[in-house]
Chain A
């Protein structure tokens, strides 16, 4: 009972730690997504890193604030948008007369430039967007389940 009260009031140390780490986590995840094609990294990994900011928010402020700050329906819509963007970018190959998913528009800049890899870069962005919103929805669902369990225990007591 004591521990639950401590979690509900949110310890100042935990809150300040979450505040401190949150921007760095988001920026690092976005960096991994954006530079996926020129360095070790990629869409999936960066998306999960950005989604981990959700956990930091929950640790610092609890389920009420998190569910108000992040709309689950908006996240789902954006996940669908990411999937559509991936399929459209992959279909660029068909419009250019080569096979599906084949890389096109890659004749700009030197090797190692950010957009030198053509559609691969933008497909990586699309997958990163899709994964970060999708994992965010999953985490919000799990937080909702945990909050429901807490309420049940309180009612029982």
Chain B
């Protein structure tokens, strides 16, 4: 039974992954693919790089940030809106680190008490 459940969940993950890959390949617009940039020319003359407009996702964020979020601080908008899941993970890592230090420090305290009892 366990094997069947594991196989079904793995298959579901595989199907979801294939769907996500297909979706990101077909539906999401390519913002910057680097096709017009020659790396050798850039290496020879770095100042020829066009700095007037940002590339890729930064282009979207810088240009449409005020319409989408009204946040004056772009970094706050990225941390709490565009990458909100990332921030949830970061704050739960803090929770996990506190649990870990509890385990380590409490065990040290207990060992000390046992040592005192023996002595």
Contact = CB atoms under 8 A, between A and B. Distances in A.
Interface of A: 36-42, 44, 76, 79, 82-83, 86-87, 90, 100-103, 106-107, 111-112, 116-120, 123-124, 127, 130-131, 134-135, 137-138, 141-142, 144-145, 148, 152, 155
A39 B98 CA distance: 30
A39 to B, nearest CB: 7
Contacts of A130: 91, 94
B81 A102 contact: yes
7 contacts: A101-B80, A116-B70, A117-B69, A120-B77, A134-B91, A138-B97, A142-B101
Dominant secondary structure of chain A at its interface with chain B: helix
Contact of A120 (B69, B95, B109): B69
B115 to A, nearest CB: 9
Dominant secondary structure of chain B at its interface with chain A: helix
A117 B84 contact: no
B72 A38 contact: yes
A106 B72 CA distance: 12
A152 B112 CA distance: 8
A135 to B, nearest CB: 8
Nearest to A80: B95
Interface of B: 66, 68-73, 75-77, 79-81, 84-85, 87-88, 90-92, 94-95, 97-98, 101-102, 105, 108-109, 112, 116
A102 B68 CA distance: 9
A120 B81 contact: yes
